[in-house]
A and B are shown apart, each in its own frame.
Chain A
Amino acid sequence: EVQLVESGGGLVQPGGSLRLSCSASGVTFSSYGLHWVRQAPGKGLEHVSFITSNGGRTYYADSVKGRFTISRDNSKNILYLQMSSLRTEDTAVYYCVKNIYDWTGMDVWGQGTTVTVSS
């Protein structure tokens, strides 16, 4: 069974940094594109970032471009999201999501990790 487990969330002050991780099990991690999606409290879903299977191409939403960096370590089956210059509006549950192909076919979601940006 494929499982994605996010970690690294927590409380951080505005302007601070945090690194989220997403560990995968039950799957050959290196074959699939991966996404980060977030959901602010009581709000809808927002696509944050995407990385191709080999890490060669990345995408960022305008709201996080220049502040967040997505990366992956295929040897360890881990996806990362380095978040810096955090703002109160970055407060959300962050989910990692796996594709079944490189660019398309989103399938399995993690359970999410909560990031709270507050002074």
Chain B
Amino acid sequence: QAVVTQEPSLTVSPGGTVTLTCGSSTGAVTSVHYCYWFQQKPGQAPRTLIYDTSNKHSWTPARFSGSLLGGKAALTLSGAQPEDEADYYCLLFYNDDRWFFGGGTRLTVL
């Protein structure tokens, strides 16, 4: 069973830039993991921000972007806003038809 790792918590200043990462215990994260990024605010259902590593949905703010970086998947937030304070989860697909979430990153905008 794969283990997906994320930073437990990060802090960013308003207007600043922060990168969240998503690693895999099985090795480098690549495009075949079809990495997803989700945002969840307290009391709400999660919302999909990024799918298939770097694709945005129509509702994804332009300040969010997804990429592969140094063997991990990455979610970069450029120009953080107070409303971006939330929990962020990544999800990876494995070729034995399994999906695993990371433990989540609590992002504080302060």
Contact = CB atoms under 8 A, between A and B. Distances in A.
Interface stretch (B18-26, B44-52, B65-73): B44-52
Main secondary structure of the interface of A (DSSP, over half): strand
B53 to A, nearest CB: 10
A106 B98 contact: no
Indicate the member of B45, B46, B101 with the most A CB atoms within 10 Å.
Answer: B45
Nearest to A110: B45
Given A44-B104, A59-B98, A111 B45 contact: yes
Closest 10 CB pairs of A and B: A47-B99, A45-B101, A44-B104, A109-B45, A59-B97, A104-B34, A105-B51, A45-B89, A44-B103, A111-B45
Interface of B: 1, 34, 36, 38, 40, 45-48, 51-52, 55, 57, 89, 91, 93, 97-104
